[in-house]
Structure 1
Amino acid sequence: MQTTKSIPAIERAFAMLEALDNSSQSMNIAELSRKLDIPRSSAHSIALTLERCGYVTRDASGRNCMLSMKAYRLGREAAPAGHLADAAFRPMKALSTATQLTAHLAVLDRDQAVYVQKVQGLSLLRFDTHIGKRTNLHCTGVGKVLLSYASQSYQEKYLKQAPFARYTRNTITTASALRREIAKIVKQAFALDDQEEELDVRCLAVPVVSARGEFIAALSVSGSMAQLQDDWLPAGIDLLQKTARQIKPLSGLDMTRDAS
Structure 2
Amino acid sequence: MRKQIPLLAATSRALAMLEAVIEDGGASSVSALARKHDVPVATAHRQVATLVSEGFLAPTGGGRHIAGPRLRAILARVDDKQLVTNVAAPLLHRLAARTGAVVQLGTFENDMVTYRIKTGEGANSLFTKVDMQLEAYCSGIGKVLLAHLPQAQRDAYLAGGPFVALTETTITDPADLAHELEQVAKAGYAEDRGEIDPAISCVAVPIRRPDGSVPAAISVSRLRGKGGMKTDAVLAALHTTAAEIEKSCFSS
Q: Note the C-alpha offset of 1:132.
A: 1.3
Contact 1:125 1:223 in 2 (8 A): no
Q: Note the C-alpha offset of 1:163.
A: 2.9
Contact 1:212 1:251 in 2 (8 A): no
TM-score (norm 2): 0.64
Partners of 1:95 and 1:218 in 2: CA distance: 14
RMSD across aligned C-alpha pairs, in angstroms?
2.0
- Which runs of at least 4 in structure 1 moved beyond 6 Å after TM superposition? none
Q: Is 1:130 equivalent to 2:135 in the alignment? A: no
Q: Which amino acid aligns with 2:106?
A: A
What does residue 242 of structure 1 align with? Answer: 240
Contact 1:81 1:116 in 2 (8 A): no
TM-score (norm 1): 0.62
Cα separation, partners in 2 of 1:228 and 1:83, compared to 1, 3 Å: farther
Contact 2:148 2:213 in 1 (8 A): no
By relative contact order (CA 8 Å, sep 6+), the higher-ranking structure is 1
Q: Which amino acid aligns with 2:142?
A: G
Correspondence 1:129-168 to 2 at 5 A: 129-168=128-167
Q: Which amino acid aligns with 1:155?
A: R
Residues 69-98 of structure 1: CA deviation (Å, up to 9, x unaligned) = xxxxxxxx8633322111001110111001
Correspondence 1:73-222 to 2 at 5 A: 79-119=79-119, 121-123=120-122, 126-211=125-210, 213-222=212-221
Contact 1:104 1:118 in 2 (8 A): yes
Structure whose alpha-carbon radius of gyration is higher: 2
Contact 1:200 1:225 in 2 (8 A): yes
Q: Note the C-alpha offset of 1:210.
A: 2.9
Partners of 2:156 and 2:94 in 1: CA distance: 37
Partners of 2:138 and 2:106 in 1: CA distance: 14
Q: Percent identity?
A: 26
Partners of 2:88 and 2:123 in 1: CA distance: 23
SS at match of 1:215: coil
Partners of 1:228 and 1:111 in 2: CA distance: 33
5+ long unaligned stretches in structure 1: 1-76, 253-260
Cα separation, partners in 2 of 1:202 and 1:228, compared to 1, 3 Å: farther
Partners of 1:213 and 1:148 in 2: CA distance: 12
5+ long unaligned stretches in structure 2: 1-76
Q: Which amino acid aligns with 1:83?
A: L
Number of equivalenced pairs: 174
Q: Which amino acid aligns with 1:128?
A: F
Partners of 1:171 and 1:197 in 2: CA distance: 7
Partners of 1:193 and 1:125 in 2: CA distance: 19
Q: Note the C-alpha offset of 1:166.
A: 0.7
Partners of 2:126 and 2:81 in 1: CA distance: 21
Q: Which amino acid aligns with 2:163?
A: F
Partners of 2:190 and 2:231 in 1: CA distance: 11
